[in-house]
Structures are given as C-alpha cells and as structure tokens.
Homo-oligomer: A and B are copies of this chain.
Amino acid sequence: MSEENRSDILTVSEQQPKAEGKKLQFNLIHDYPQKNAELLSSQYGFNIFLAGLLLMFAWAIHAVGITDRDLLSYLITLMLIQMIWMLWYIFRSQSFRRSNIEKDTDAGARWLRCGITLFAVITLILDSFKIGYYIGYSECLSITEGIFPVTHTVHTLLQVYFLWFHAKDIIQSFKTLERFGLIHAVFTNLLLWANGILTESKHELNEHKERLITLGFSNITMDHHTPECNCTSSVCSIFSQGIYYLYPFTIEYHILASTMLYVLWKNIGRTVKHHQQQKIHFKFHGITIGTVLGLIVLTTTVAVLVVYLIQIGRSKSKSELALNMFYLYAITVLILMCTSAVIGLIIYRLENKSLDDSESPAKKLDSDLLVGSACGSWLISWGSILAIICAETHPEYTWYNLPYSILVIIEKYIQNLFIIECINRKEEEPTDERSERIFSVSTRSNLSLASSSYDVINDSVTICNKEFPYISNSEVPVAEDCAEEQRSQDNNNSIRLTPCKVSIHTTRPAKLNKKRRVLKNIAAFLFLCNISLWIPPAFGCRPQYDNGLEEIVFGFEPWITVVNLAMPFSIFYRMHSASSLFEVYCKA
C-alpha cells in the first residue's frame, strides 16, 4: 500500500469545496483515495477467491449437490469477465496511445514474457487435448466440460497478448476500474492455478493408490471420474494420458500470469524514480564449467526419474531400491548446490556492493514468493524429520531420508539468501569502481599496460580476458596504493584514462573479472539444478508418498493432505527460483 500517488492525493485535499452535492458525487467516483481503492479491490479479490476455493473444496470432498458443472461454470464466468475487461483496457490504451504511458523497468522482463508464452503454448495444446477428449465422450459429459477448454483457449490467447504488451504499464488514470479488473484477473488466474493443482493432486493420489493396491494393500478406495460411456474416437486414451503430462506447465503458466498481473496492480498510480536501468542482456560467455556441471545434473535427473517411475510400486524391494537411488542422487545434488551458493555469498561479502533501497513491487514480490513458496517444502521436510525421529521401525532408506530432508531445508535457506541479495544489489553505474581500477592499473604499469588498453577497443574478446585476470588478482595492492597514486599522477594520466573508459562500454562482456565469472558460473549451475529438481515432483516422482514412513506416523489421510497442500508450493519454488537465477546470471 506504499506506492500511493502522492500528487493525486494532494490535489484532492487542496481543492476547495464548491457545491456540496456535486462535490460528494464527484469525490465518490473520481477522487476516491487510491489507498482505499487498493483496499476496496483487494477485498473484492479475496472474496471471489475464497468463494472459488470453497467450491473446489466442496467438489473435491464430493459435497452433496455440488458438481463439476458448478465449479466450471464459476470459473468460466470469471474468465469471461476478465476477457471483457482486458478487451476494454486494450482498446482504451490504444486510443490513448499518443499520451506517454509510464513504464516500470523492473516489471515484465522480456525473458519472463518469453517464458510465459512458452507455457501458454503448452497450455493451448492441453486445451486442445481436453476439447478432443470432450468430443470423444460428448454423449455422457456435461456441456460445461466442452465450453471450459474453449473459453480457456480464448482466455489464454488474449491474456498472453495483454501481458506481452502491457505488463510494464504504470496506470495513472481511471484507477479504480483498472484496480478491480486487475485484481479480478489476478485471482481468476490463482483459481485456475488451484484448479490445476487439484486435478493434478487427485491424479497423483490415484496413481499412488494404484501402486499401493499392487503392493497388496486392499482397503483403499479409488476416486476415479471416468465417463460412463464409450469413446467415439480411438485417441481418447492418448488425450486422457497426455493431459496429465501437460498439467505441470499449465500450473506454472497460471501462477506466472497472476504474479505479473499482481505487479501491474501494485504499480497502479505509482510514481517511479527514473533511474535509467541497464537492459539485461543474456550472453552465453565464460560459464562453461557451470553449464557443463548443470547439464550433467539435468541428464542424470531425467535418467533417475525414468528408473524411479519404472521401479516404484513393482515390488517392495524394487521400490526400496528406487527410493535409495533417488535419495542418494538428491543428496549429492543438494550438497553441490549448497556449496556453490555459499561460495556465491562469500563473493558478495568480498565485493561489498551497496543494496538498492528503492521500493519496487516486482522485486519485493520476487523475494516474498521465494520465501513463501519455500515454506511449502520446509513443511514437508519437517514432517519427514519428525516422522523419522518418532517412528518405531527404521527401514534402511530412512537414513537417507533424514539428511535429504535436512539438506532440502538448508539448501533453500542459502539459495534464497543468494538470489535475493543479488536481485537487490544496485545496478552498476557507468562510472563504477572497475573503471577506477583500470585507471589505477594503467597508472602503475605505464609501460606494459598503457598500450594494451588501447588495443582492447579493436581486439577480440580473448585478448581482453587475458588482460583482466591480472587486474582482479592484483586488486588488493592496487586498492591500497590507489589513493596516493591517483593524487600524484592525476595530471599525468588524464589522457590515458579516456580510451580506457571507452573500452569498458564497447567490449562489455569482456569485463568479466574472476569474481563475476565465478558468480555467473554459480548462477548457471544453480539454474540448471533447479530446473532438474523441478522435474521429478512435477512428473510423479514423489518419495514423500512412496517411502511410507510418514504415512505410518501421521496416518495416510493426514499426511497425504499435508503433502497435497504443500507440494504445489514446493514445485513452484523450483520454477520461480530458476527464473530468478536467470536474472541473477544476467546481472552478475
């Protein structure tokens, strides 16, 4: 609530009252204080969200009189309202195009919009699968199950267009209606996200129950929603199978969309200090070690996942083997991740960059989401730890589960510190300390470096890199001598300094000193590791279900409930930290 348009409030209070009646009408509609407009809309948002959540809850527990159709109708209505609002906004902003709309440089980064487009494409495939499935079973499915994917397709197309062109807008006029539209969009996406999670959880739970039945547990009731007629086409089973492999992407799409819309909502009426932010460029350069290690982890993960899914639930010994393999592999990866994040943190302390204290909703949301979603997996890990401590029997794999759970907690703790500090570090100024360093180096070794610093402008990247290790290695003495040398040789070197500065701007990627290169490698490695750790839980490898220990201690129902509530956040954490690490990589 901090980003209030101060000038707007002031003009309201400075106006002198003219005619009481007219004034009242005027105030209630146009000059409603923006702090309250925020509250007014957020309370509306919470209410549609809570009502939707309860509908989902009621449907999930098979409440009397509440069907699939009710829930889908509610979601369709919300999507239609959002589409009408988006169309209104798009047309209105096109007609006002000449007036300069302010932009928030932190919001809606290009890579974020590319990411959301990718997920949206997969979502569209999912929708087409659903439509195909509906056509196959159209005799016995309700019409809403056909309308829903069609509406969702249009909704996705329109929303991606909207986010692509308007994610950076800072809305300054007619704010109240915009606030309502945006908060409606935020919570519509959150409900679609929750709906995706619910469907996915039900599916996972059923698969788990099927495995348990294979293993000999008989007192388990399945919860299938198979249609009561035969499919008219031959591809129905492909559709119904394929849908569940695409769900993880749809879930990410909706949560990403809602965070982008939320930032738009927070930005309404904000006054931005215009600090010229450098555009973040992705350059694949000097990060070979990190990338190679990361890719090794990624391929190993896929291999482990395939073996796990084949082995688990076949027999007791095969299941235990699969669990042991998964835990050992995960422990190794987590230790590597912890180590690299700690190295990153130590480098930060050595660099001593100042933190950016400007209040940006996009940055604040990023860090809140990281900590908030980490809580999901911390909850599961604490559950495992508690179960291991309290269990009466300890099969072998529990002794891998304990370090695994502890490492999950520690790794997220450290990684959050690493990411959030980098996000909040100040962008480097054009006249930063590096130019000073080069300056002082060139003053110290006049003969050897003066000429080579001229060369940098025209020469290739490799030559630059040969120069710079020297600079970063000799940093300490340089810094110590810097002050007095600068004073004594100031007149002497003023000419030499100019080309040196030019070299900084023309050959930017070449300036990677050792620390920055290590940071970039760490970010690349952690990025690939997080993608790797996203894959297993998203595609059905959930040892928290399969190891059985927690289920014995807490009971089947309570533990499944905890995992189903917390797991979506844990999965989202990996995706979100990967996208944040991409930013870290670009900024490092």
A505 CB → nearest B CB, Å: 23
Contacts A6-B357, A51-B386, A63-B553 supplied; 5 other A-B pairs, CB < 8 Å: A9-B355, A12-B352, A28-B349, A36-B417, A55-B386
A4 to B382 Cα, complex, angstroms: 31
8 smallest beta-carbon distances between A and B, as pairs: A65-B390, A13-B354, A27-B349, A51-B382, A61-B558, A4-B357, A2-B359, A63-B554
Q: Residue A43 contacts which of B357, B385, B416 (CB distance < 8 angstroms)?
A: B416
Given contacts A13-B352, A64-B553, whether A378 and B50 have CB atoms under 8 Å apart is yes
Q: Residue A35 contacts which of B6, B16, B55, B421 (CB distance < 8 angstroms)?
A: B421
List residues of chain B with CB within 8 A of the CB of A417.
36, 39-40, 43
Inter-subunit contact A47/B392 (CB<8 Å): no
A194 at the interface (CB under 8 A from B): no
Q: Which residue of B lies closest to A66 (CB)?
A: B390
- Among the stretches A17-25, A228-236, A284-292, the one at the interface with B is A17-25
List residues of chain B with CB within 8 A of the CB of A2.
2, 357, 359, 364
Inter-subunit contact A17/B479 (CB<8 Å): yes
Q: Residue A61 contacts which of B19, B35, B386, B555 (CB distance < 8 angstroms)?
A: B555
A475 at the interface (CB under 8 A from B): yes
List residues of chain B with CB within 8 A of the CB of A31.
352
Instruction: Find the residue from A357, A367, A558 having the highest chain B CB count within 10 A.
Output: A357
A311 at the interface (CB under 8 A from B): no
List residues of chain B with CB within 8 A of the CB of A61.
554-555, 558
A196 at the interface (CB under 8 A from B): no
Q: Which residue of B lies closest to A391 (CB)?
A: B65
A346 at the interface (CB under 8 A from B): yes
List residues of chain B with CB within 8 A of the CB of A424.
35
A476 at the interface (CB under 8 A from B): yes
Q: Which residue of B lies closest to A52 (CB)?
A: B382
What number of copies of this chain does the assembly contain?
Answer: 2
Q: Mind listing 16 A-B residue pairs with CB under 8 Å?
A: A20-B350, A31-B352, A35-B421, A36-B420, A36-B421, A39-B367, A43-B374, A46-B374, A47-B382, A51-B385, A58-B554, A61-B558, A63-B553, A64-B391, A64-B553, A65-B390
List residues of chain B with CB within 8 A of the CB of A12.
352, 354
List residues of chain B with CB within 8 A of the CB of A70.
390
Q: Which residue of B lies closest to A27 (CB)?
A: B349
Inter-subunit contact A65/B558 (CB<8 Å): no
A54 at the interface (CB under 8 A from B): yes
**A residues 271-316 touching B (CB-CB < 8 Å):** none
A326 CB → nearest B CB, Å: 23
A400 at the interface (CB under 8 A from B): no
A57 at the interface (CB under 8 A from B): yes
Inter-subunit contact A379/B555 (CB<8 Å): no
A48 CB → nearest B CB, Å: 10
Inter-subunit contact A64/B552 (CB<8 Å): yes
A382 to B55 Cα, complex, angstroms: 9
Q: Residue A46 contacts which of B40, B355, B371, B479 (CB distance < 8 angstroms)?
A: B371
Inter-subunit contact B63/A375 (CB<8 Å): no
A362 CB → nearest B CB, Å: 13
Inter-subunit contact A371/B39 (CB<8 Å): yes
Given contacts A1-B364, A43-B416, A382-B50, whether A57 and B562 have CB atoms under 8 Å apart is yes
Inter-subunit contact B476/A20 (CB<8 Å): yes
A42 at the interface (CB under 8 A from B): yes
A557 CB → nearest B CB, Å: 9
Given contacts A39-B417, A54-B382, A350-B24, whether A357 and B555 have CB atoms under 8 Å apart is no
